[in-house]
A and B are shown apart, each in its own frame.
Chain A
Amino acid sequence: MQMKSLLAVAFVAMAASAANAQQMVFTSWGGTTQDAQTEFWAAPFTEKAGTAVLQDGPTDYGKIKAMVEAGAVAWDVVDTEFDWALQAGKAGLLEPLDFNVIDKAKLDPRFVSDYAVGSFYYSFVIGWNPANFSGDAQPATMADLFDTEKFPGKRTFYKWSAPGVIEAALLADGLPADQLYPLDLDRAFKKLDTIKSSIIWWEGGAQSQQLLASGEAPIGLFWNGRLAALQADGMPVGISWQDNITAADALVVPKGARNKEAAMAFIAEATSAKAQADFATKTGYAPINLDSPELMEAELRATLPDAQTANQINADMAYWAEHRDEIGNRWYAWQAE
């Protein structure tokens, strides 16, 4: 089905280029996320604007930098991490977005900047396998996530340096949420040290699901959408939204993109209320268009981070963008220690 639609897009693209019509390239992370982006963003866009959207991936920051430096930018719109987008915008790797085309009035202001708008957002939540913790005590807090005596077994965390795990460690160590920033890295790594030998890192969403479902790591910190997908498949999964930490993906246009106008129009379509609502319905990630939740079924809305704002912490994207390199270097060095 997916293959067919990809092929269809490719054929449309060939036909389009033959007729000298427009086309553009959208790059994302692959997997089910990009499938949904193709289905709910690219296909309606092609239908309305007549511009074919070629899919490429996975997103690779090294490639973006290389393309921009070489002046040969093959990607028109790229799905990146939001903090990277802010940093890259400052570093001159991105085109400023055209807000005459993209209507930012309806977009969640947390995820709007000069060079990037949100693609979707998600929460890092505590997930556990009920088969492994069948007793009365169930993991609820970040402190529980770091308590290997109360909840024995391996823990799984996101491998790459990104907002989420550092914040979780500080919360687990008892730091109040409003004092998270500036991040106390010494304290965070000290807390992480206490469970280091119990950590299995997940590199991508599919791996995180596999680790949890197999019981290899019976507890961990996950993207909420991946746990929702496991539940939708009928697997019992425990989820705690206590102190859920939001982060987002961004849509950006690399500097010197060949089809800038089409790129802006594509982003406008992708962030529209309907496109965002459809994407969220399919993936369990939250829409960044403020009008989208109304378009979704009530039952689904209840599973979104939107419904969990009471105990929600917004990772500070601006702080991360500023300190991304410094945190990254320490993060990877600590991992390798």
Chain B
Amino acid sequence: MLSFLTPARRGSGLGMAMPALLLLLAFFVIPVAGLLSRSVTEPVTGLQNYETLLGSATYLRIFFNTFLVSGLVTLITALIAFPVAWALAIMPSRVAAVVFAIILLSMWTNLLARTYAWMVLLQQTGLVNRILMAIGIIDQPIQLTNNLIGVTIGMVYIMLPFMILPLYGVIKKIDPAILQAAALCGATKGQALRRVLLPLATPGIASGALMVFVMSLGYFVTPSLLGGTANMMLAELIVQQVQSLLNWGMGGAAAFILLVVTLALYALQLRLFEGKAR
């Protein structure tokens, strides 16, 4: 990735990154270390917080929910983002700029405002239900909030740009002539997609998926407002423990598990795809 930098200049690159690294050290690494130490010292020294978290069906269910929602969101986001990224890559650049602006505009709108907007749209008397009833697909309002559907819709919408951008970056670099070559060699459109385009786009899908999955794992606002308590995710548990119950040992343990899972996924992605991206 840094191949344009000569080894001699790498050192100076580190120097330039120093302010950011110091900032991270002071306001991220040290507090995280503090929380971690609380997780094995409060209320008493030992691993009891981890035992409680990993030993109770309720908490395991919260872990399961967290992975389920993150997985669903990643999958659906990828399915929606792929055609969008492809279209962006082949459309005239002036049109693409407008589409990009629309995608980014949604990113720049306040998260809370967007989530409240979904609450209003998805409620029983909301626009979505009314439209579905008006065109006769349903005759009773269906429940779209306070459950898995609500969280998934809300989060897919918020995560889409994070999937589209890396995908676009990779697809844009694919030489369209390769697809023509595939067609000339007798590949059907489906074959060209499956055996040529998808493998070439895999690093983009992988980094988009990692970003979306990891961001989803720690998401709080959207699951809290659009999901029911039965879909509680890890971040909500951490907030409850830290803020409402003042049980920082337990909150720290949950946060540390989340961090470990995230780092493990990142390491896995580096191992599997970083070589190909170069």
Contact = CB atoms under 8 A, between A and B. Distances in A.
Nearest to A335: B229
10 contacts: A62-B242, A65-B246, A159-B229, A214-B124, A216-B123, A216-B124, A324-B245, A333-B56, A336-B58, A337-B58
B109 interface: no
A215 B124 CA distance: 8
B48 interface: no
A61 interface: yes
A100 interface: no
A120 B243 CA distance: 22
B244 A328 contact: yes
A160 interface: yes
Nearest to B56: A333
Contacts of B146: 200-201
B128 to A, nearest CB: 13
Contacts of B123: 214, 216
A161 B232 contact: no
A222 B222 CA distance: 24
Interface string A312-337: 00000000000011001100110111
Interface in B190-239: 224-225, 228-230, 232, 237
Given A62-B242, A62-B246, A201-B228, A333 B58 contact: yes
B29 to A, nearest CB: 18
A96 to B, nearest CB: 20
B125 interface: yes
B269 interface: no
Contacts of A160: 244
Interface in B45-81: 56, 58-59, 61-62, 65
A335 B123 CA distance: 21
A261 interface: no
Interface in B138-169: 146
A108 interface: no
Interface residues on B, range: 20 to 34
Nearest to B143: A154
Interface in B1-57: 56
A325 B247 contact: yes
Contact of B240 (A60, A201, A332, A337): A332
Interface of B: 56, 58-59, 61-62, 65, 123-125, 146, 224-225, 228-230, 232, 237, 240, 242-248
Q: Is the interface of B mostly helix, strand, loop or mixed?
A: helix
Contact of A329 (B228, B230, B242, B245): B245
Nearest to A93: B246
Nearest first, the 3 A-B pairs at minimum CB distance are: A335-B229, A62-B243, A333-B58
A61 B229 contact: no
Interface residues of A, number: 22
A93 to B, nearest CB: 9
B50 to A, nearest CB: 16
Contacts of B237: 332, 336
Nearest to A153: B124
B125 A216 contact: yes
B114 to A, nearest CB: 17
Contacts of A60: 243
A325 B245 CA distance: 6
A59 to B, nearest CB: 10
Contacts of B229: 159, 201, 335-336
Contact of B230 (A203, A216, A328, A337): A337
Given A214-B125, A215-B124, A336 B61 contact: yes
Nearest to B61: A336
Nearest to B124: A216
Nearest to B65: A336
**Which among B224, B230, B242, B245 has the greatest number of chain A C-beta atoms within 10 A?**
B245
Contacts of B244: 61, 160-161, 328
B61 A337 contact: yes
B232 A336 contact: yes
Could you say which of A216, A328, A336, A337 has the most chain B C-beta atoms within 10 Å of its C-beta? Answer: A336
Contacts of B228: 200-201
A328 B248 CA distance: 14
Contacts of B124: 214-216
Given A336-B62, A336-B230, A337-B61, A215 B243 contact: no
A60 to B, nearest CB: 6
Contacts of A328: 240, 244-245
Contacts of A62: 242-243, 246, 248
Nearest to A336: B232
Contacts of B246: 61-62, 65
A321 to B, nearest CB: 13
